[in-house]
Amino acid sequence: MKAASLSGSKPSLWILNPTWDMLLFILAPVWIIPVIWCLKDRTDLNSIGTIILALGATGHHMPGLIRAYTDPQLFRRYRWRFILSPIFFISVCMAFAYLDLHGLFLIVVIWGSWHGAMQVNGFLRIYDSKVGSVSRATAKLDWAMCLAWFGGAILYSPVKLTAIFAFFYQSGGTLISPQGFFLFRDAWVLLTVGITMAFAANAWQQARRGLPSSPLKFLLMASTFGFWWFSIVMINNVLLSVLLFEIFHDLQYSALVWVYNEGRVAKNMAASSVERFIFRPGWRIVLFAALILAYGYFGIASGYATTTMPRLLGGGESSRYLVHFIIASTFLHFYFDGFIWRVRESGFRKDLGIKDIAGNAVRQHHFSWKPAVLKWALFVIPAIFFGLTEYYHHPLLAGPQFQTMLQFSPNEWHLNFIVAEAMGSDEAHSLAYLQKVVAIQPDFAPAQKMLGEIFDRRGLSDSALVHYQLAVNSNPLDGESLDSLESIRKRISMDLLRKSS
């Protein structure tokens, strides 16, 4: 897999070549969706999917770390960032783990969505730069489009909203008015419409001036925004929702790191022996993939991929510190990517085979304290605020908070199940929430089991039998459901015998 733009002097529209760009960067959703659906129908997605998610979500941190610590020039330039930031993030994450605080989970969800949007923006700028579209207005509108469309999907996503509000409330956040939220969401939609219209007008104007944007940029934008909305808005299964876009994101990132560094090695631009060893063209791509999978194993060991909201709310002493180590690695990944892949910098553009246009050459970006302070403030201020709030007030998710969250995400089945558990003594309301859960997610065994228990207590043996059978079908290893199923079967058989006699 070799970058076309790095293998010759002729400029190319593509980062790699038409086939690989389409498969990995632009139209990857076309094959990711059927592959995952096939996997879902033929295997236990809860086991296979969580392994894939853990390997990818954690493993794709490794390429960025390799880039940061094997390029001597880059390391010299950002020496203190690369030395001090891991110490800082690990120290903060271990402190939160020791105190069993949850504010970092909220920050990582929000930062993660921002990170995904900015990675897409980076690819948009690469494709535009390859055709000489380097207008500052175009770059700003690309950035605004990514932020608006990614953010808008979050405001309609049952999965993301549930996670954000659950962590917000558990970290000491005040009750949010549903009316205020819906007003904010409507304003965001109007803002997105305005940004999209400005983007289209600018694209038309630039084309008239003879500086059109890359057609690949528009195709990537459409496929990515559509896939993001499909993944987090249309899919109610938490694991499936996260897994779909994570695969796309991880493939994009890992492939870009490989082609960038392989190109440096092929052109004898790599200065370190480690860089030359790992990224030598040929079979070394297998070594690169092995390093990613090896680092991804930490995600599996920590249970990172299975820490859905209910588990996080309940904690878990055994893996808490390892989970927070992975969170520290995640923050490092987000932070490093904010400055090691700057398309506007001439050094990066040269390494990627992008020629600067006369009059628009981008000078090497020197350190500026304002962007650095802003980035750190977006982590430090929320971490201190939510850490102190949760530590001193010990907030718990209560009835009003659950009810408010359900108004934001009425069809989030996981949240409906949590509310049903919380209302255990109010059997009538619990029943209504459980029935909604199984209507959305019929193979969720715990909900089927709880319904069986409720109908059994009410003396409705036939209904209890149906739900216990569904619970056993979904989880054959649940001994309690098996025993209850057999008990009800015997009771129904005895009742039939008494009636016949």
Give the domains, in start order, of the chain with CATH numbers.
4-356+382-393 (no CATH), 411-500 (1.25.40.10)
pLDDT value of residue 1: 59
Q: How far apart are CA 355 and CA 349, in angstroms?
A: 7
| Region of 100 on the Ramachandran plot (φ > 0 left; ψ -120 to 50 alpha; else beta) | left
Q: What is the pLDDT of residues 447-464, one digit of tens each?
A: 999 999 899 888 888 888
Residue 487 has pLDDT above 50, yes or no: yes
Q: What is the pLDDT of residues 415-444, one digit of tens each?
A: 788 778 777 667 887 888 899 889 988 888
pLDDT value of residue 63: 93
Q: What is the pLDDT of residues 194-216, one digit of tens each?
A: 999 999 999 999 999 999 999 99
Confidence band, pLDDT 50/70/90 cuts, at residue 303: low
Q: What is the pLDDT of residues 334-373, one digit of tens each?
A: 999 988 887 766 666 766 667 665 444 444 444 456 667 8
> Are 267 and 9 contacting, i.e. CB atoms less than 8 angstroms apart?
no
Mean pLDDT of 210-235: 95
Query: What is the value of pTM for the model shown?
Result: 0.84
Neighbour count for residue 44 (Cβ, 10 Å): 10
Q: How far apart are CA 216 and CA 234, in angstroms?
A: 26
pLDDT value of residue 21: 95
Q: What is the pLDDT of residues 253-285, one digit of tens each?
A: 999 999 888 888 888 877 788 888 999 888 889
> Of 2-11, 168-177, 290-299, where does mean pLDDT reach its minimum?
2-11
> Are 356 and 137 contacting, i.e. CB atoms less than 8 angstroms apart?
no
Round the average pLDDT of the chain to a whole number and report it.
85
Could you tell me which residues come within 8 angstroms of residue 456 by beta carbon, excluding any fewer than 6 positions away? 464, 484, 488
Q: How far apart are CA 345 and CA 339, in angstroms?
A: 10
Confidence band, pLDDT 50/70/90 cuts, at residue 191: very high
- H or E segment and range at residue 428: helix 427-440
More confident of the two residues 137 and 408? 137
Q: What is the pLDDT of residues 61-84, one digit of tens each?
A: 999 999 899 888 889 989 999 999
Tell me what percent of the residues of the chain surpass a pLDDT of 90: 46
Q: How far apart are CA 329 and CA 309, in angstroms?
A: 20
User: Which letter, b or e, does each residue of 388-408 get, where b requires 16 or more Cβ atoms within 10 Å of its Cβ?
Assistant: ebbeeeebebeeebbebbbeb
CA dihedral 483, 447, 394, 97 (to 10 degrees): 80
More confident of the two residues 39 and 93? 93
